[in-house]
Amino acid sequence: MLTKRIIPCLDVDDGYVVKGIRFQDIRKVGNAVKLGARYAQQGADELVFLDITATTERRQTLVSLVQKVAREIFIPFTVGGGIRKLKDMERLLKSGADKVAINTAAVKRPALIKEAAKSFGSQFVVLSIDAKKSGHQSWIVTTHGGRRKTNRDALDWALKAESLGAGEIMLNIIDADGTTQGYDLEATRQFSQRLKIPVIASGGAGNLNDIFQVLTKGKADAALAASIFHYGTYTVKQVKQYLKKRGVAIRI
Amino acid sequence: MNALEHIGARPILTRSSNMIRRAAKVIFPGVGAFGTGMKILRKKHLDTLIKQICLDGKPFLGICLGMQLLFESSEEAPHTRGLSIFKGVAKRFRVRKVPHMGWNKVEVMNKTPLFQGLNKNFFTYFVHSYYINAKDKTTLIGRTQYGGQFASVVATGNCYGVQFHPERSGENGLRILENFVKRC
């Protein structure tokens, strides 16, 4: 049977993985390709590389990163981070990326999702949503790394993206400070039940039980995690063994 | 291509009939749609070439859509005929979440050099919305469960088809590619 996916997420600045709360205490963890390869070797099901390079050379650094990853890592990987145009997506896919994640650019111009799905195929297009709680059982879409609020309902947006051809939804629930607090089980569950495409839960797992809950109660198809791996709190193997012991369908 | 180079093979990416005819082995990856795929093959006369290659016993590996095109037809393109090297058709998954995307187990049904060194059940990465119902059970060498059981690996002579992506299936996938290159 299809297993739940554990996906380490690597924030990359100029080829290096960085860790730390957004804009504070940023520290280099290691070479992105090497770290990615290590996670793959430990049993990661997929990888996500998010480009946070602030310079204008971003496009080229991301393409080189993708080329390097494709040469050494043989599990699926997604790239994202400031991707705005169809041409950029095409270049990244041609360089070896399996999927491309878009966020703000799609909110600004939803037709981008349709165009990308038509040009490359839905399976290559991931819509990443940063959503903030805005009332009872409703969440609102934010952009620009969570710094700007819109007046779009996040679930409606996800459903719209699905109808436009998005292949997967990456759902990141952020709190008042724009930082992630952990998975939001209620949000994930609602999105997973309404959508026919996979939902990847994102949001800073604190511990093993968090991941267990989001994949079971939250009904997510996959769990994204960063600090828990980068800080060395748990290895991918430990997370998977824990989940398997608790009865989750996991690839070990 | 990266995966093949990684295991030490020297792959050439080509559309040329001549290159394909002269090659020692042929891998036919496929991403996209059945209808368009067959249209392009017919246009370049690669359809007859592929049939000939498989008949001649040259090692051939079809991946994902590349495997589905080896069959008779697909619900995805109702009026298009496939290569019909294998008997059976491709049907759309009638499961809640489509496509079938992620890691799933291949259950080995028959021994083959392609599976050398792998367990009786091994994980590989799938991304597809249509699945194969193989009519001739002797060609079914690997099956997988999603909704019901579907053919994940087929073979006839030296012609193989895998529904999953070996180049994205970590160590198991690399092993399969290596087996195809070195043992088939």
pLDDT for the residue numbered A174: 84
Q: Does B148 contact A at CB distance below 8 Å? A: no
Mean pLDDT of chain A: 90
Cβ contact A76–B125 (<8 Å): yes
pLDDT above 90 as % of chain A:
71
Instruction: Spell out a b/e string for A9-47, using b for 16 or more CB atoms within 10 Å of the CB, else e.
Output: bbbbbbebbbbeebeeeeeebeebbebbbbbbebbbbbb
Closest-CA distance, B151 to chain A, in angstroms, reads 14
Q: Does B1 contact A at CB distance below 8 Å? A: no
Q: Which residues of A are catalytic?
A: 11, 130
Q: What is the pTM of this model?
A: 0.93
Suggest the residue from A1, A2, A126 to mutate for an interface test with chain B (most B CBs closer than 10 A).
A2
Of A11, A198, A115, A90, nearest in space to B96 by CA? A198
Suggest the residue from B101, B119, B143, B174 to mutate for an interface test with chain A (most A CBs closer than 10 A).
B101
Cβ contact B104–A96 (<8 Å): no
Cβ contact A251–B32 (<8 Å): no
What residues of B are in contact with residue A121 (Cβ under 8 Å)?
A: 31-32
Q: Which of B54, B159, B167, B178 is catalytic?
A: B167
Pick from A71, A167, A168: CB nearest B2: A71
pLDDT for the residue numbered A24: 54
Cβ contact A96–B105 (<8 Å): no
What residues of A are in contact with residue B105 (Cβ under 8 Å)?
A: 1
Q: Does B4 contact A at CB distance below 8 Å? A: no
Q: How confident is the model at residue A87 (pLDDT cuts 50, 70, 90)?
A: very high
Using CA coordinates, name the residue in chain B closest to A250: B103
ipTM for the complex shown = 0.91
Instruction: Spell out a b/e string for A154-174, using b for 16 or more CB atoms within 10 Å of the CB, else e.
Output: bbebbbbbbebbbbbbbbbbb
pLDDT along chain B (184 residues), means of 10: 91 90 91 88 93 94 96 94 96 92 97 95 96 94 96 97 97 96 92
Of A71, A86, A25, A28, nearest in space to A53 by CA? A28
Q: How confident is the model at residue A178 (pLDDT cuts 50, 70, 90)?
A: low
Instruction: Spell out a b/e string for B118-132, using b for 16 or more CB atoms within 10 Å of the CB, else e.
Output: beeebbbbbbbbbbb
Burial status of residue A200 (CB atoms within 10 A of its CB: 0-12, 13-18, 19 or more): buried
Torsion of CA A142, A143, A144, A149, to 10 degrees: -50
Taking the C-alpha atoms of residue B177 and residue B160, their distance in angstroms, rounded to an integer, is: 11
Taking the C-alpha atoms of residue A243 and residue A3, their distance in angstroms, rounded to an integer, is: 11
Cβ contact B3–A74 (<8 Å): yes
3-state secondary structure chain A: CCCEEEEEEEEEECCEEEECCCCCCCEEEEEHHHHHHHHHHCCCCCEEEEECCCCCCHHHHHHHHHHHHHHHCCCCEEEECCCCCHHHHHHHHHHCCCEEEECHHHHHCCHHHHHHHHHHCHHHEEEEEEEEECCCCCEEEEECCCCEEEEEEHHHHHHHHHHHCCCEEEEEEECCCCCECCCCHHHHHHHHHHCCCCEEEECCCCCHHHHHHHHHCCCCCEEEECHHHHCCCCCHHHHHHHHHHCCCCECC
pLDDT in tens, A181-191: 678 999 999 99
Suggest the residue from B76, B125, B171 to mutate for an interface test with chain A (most A CBs closer than 10 A).
B125
pLDDT in tens, A106-159: 999 999 999 999 999 999 999 999 999 888 889 999 988 788 899 999 999 999
pLDDT in tens, A3-61: 999 999 998 988 888 875 554 556 677 889 999 999 999 999 999 999 887 665 666 78
Closest-CA distance, A144 to chain B, in angstroms, reads 29
Residue type, A18: V
Using CA coordinates, name the residue in chain A closest to B102: A2
Taking the C-alpha atoms of residue A175 and residue B96, their distance in angstroms, rounded to an integer, is: 31
Of B82, B161, B157, B169, nearest in space to B124 by CA? B169
pLDDT for the residue numbered A146: 80
pLDDT for the residue numbered A180: 56
Pick from B6, B31, B102: CB nearest A5: B102
Cβ contact B99–A167 (<8 Å): yes
Residue B171 among the catalytic residues: no
